[in-house]
């Protein structure tokens, strides 16, 4: 449950016993380590044109792990045949990120996405030129 406490910001409080709460600040929540995973969670498949290139950040080439050859090939061939990309969630450097999986020359490429692009508006850019 979130509420406004007298601590200068929004905080989350959790009831650990009836009528007893512990208050956790947003800063404390940010420093809680995320459970790491060696997997990529596919959220859904979408058309590649639904994503503006301005949101692309870094690209990585993926290869299968030992024993995962068939799953890798199935995913690759299914995405190629359907003409879709996979919207996915990954944990990288202890942070959760949104990424796109796409097929590029028979290799699955992971493209990390920017949630809030660090780009300037056209108006702000034109003032500096």
Q: What are 10-21's pLDDT values in tens digits?
A: 567 777 788 887
Task: Say what the pTM is.
Answer: 0.59
Clarify whether residues 3 and 20 are in a common domain: yes
Which region among 63-77, 91-105, 112-126 has the lowest average model confidence (pLDDT)?
112-126
Clarify whether residues 27 and 47 are in a common domain: no
- 123 belongs to a structural domain: no
Clarify whether residues 47 and 99 are in a common domain: yes
Clarify whether residues 57 and 103 are in a common domain: yes
Q: Print the domain residue range for 45.
A: 41-113
Clarify whether residues 27 and 52 are in a common domain: no
* Confidence (pLDDT) at 117: 47
Q: Kindly state the tokens that stand for 21.
A: 């709460």
Clarify whether residues 17 and 50 are in a common domain: no
Clarify whether residues 45 and 76 are in a common domain: yes
Interval 92-101 mean pLDDT: 80
33/22 Cα distance (integer angstroms): 19
- Tell me the percentage of the chain whose pLDDT exceeds 90: 22
41/103 Cα distance (integer angstroms): 17
Clarify whether residues 45 and 82 are in a common domain: yes
Clarify whether residues 14 and 69 are in a common domain: no
List all residues 6 or more positions away from 71 whose beta carbon is below 8 Å from its beta carbon: 64
Clarify whether residues 47 and 100 are in a common domain: yes
Per-residue pLDDT at 105 exceeds 80: yes
Between the alpha carbon of residue 52 and those of residues 4, 32, 56, the distances in Å are: 37, 32, 8
End-to-end, the C-alpha distance of the chain in Å comes to 47
Q: What stretches of the chain adopt beta strand conformation (E)?
A: 2-5, 9-17, 20-25, 41-47, 56-62, 84-92, 95-104, 107-113
* Confidence (pLDDT) at 36: 56
Per-residue pLDDT at 33 exceeds 70: no
- 101 belongs to a structural domain: yes
Clarify whether residues 4 and 62 are in a common domain: no
**Who wins on pLDDT, 37 or 24?**
24
Per-residue pLDDT at 70 exceeds 90: yes
Clarify whether residues 22 and 59 are in a common domain: no
**Region at 123 (left for phi over 0; alpha for psi -120 to 50; beta for the rest):** alpha
- 68 belongs to a structural domain: yes
Per-residue pLDDT at 34 exceeds 50: yes
Total count of domains within the chain: 2
- 16 belongs to a structural domain: yes
């Amino acid at each position: 449950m979130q509420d406004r406490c007298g601590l200068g910001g929004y905080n989350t409080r959790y009831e650990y016993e009836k009528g007893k709460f512990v208050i956790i600040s947003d800063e404390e929540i940010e420093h809680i380590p995320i459970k790491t995973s060696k997997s990529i969670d596919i959220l859904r498949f979408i058309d590649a044109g639904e994503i503006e290139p301005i949101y692309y950040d870094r690209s990585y080439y993926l290869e299968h792990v030992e024993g995962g050859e068939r799953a890798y090939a199935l995913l690759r061939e299914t995405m190629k045949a359907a003409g879709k990309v996979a919207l996915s969630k990954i944990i990288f450097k202890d942070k959760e990120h949104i990424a796109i999986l796409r097929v590029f020359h028979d290799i699955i490429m992971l493209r990390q996405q920017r949630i809030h692009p660090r780009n300037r508006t056209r108006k702000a850019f034109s003032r500096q030129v």
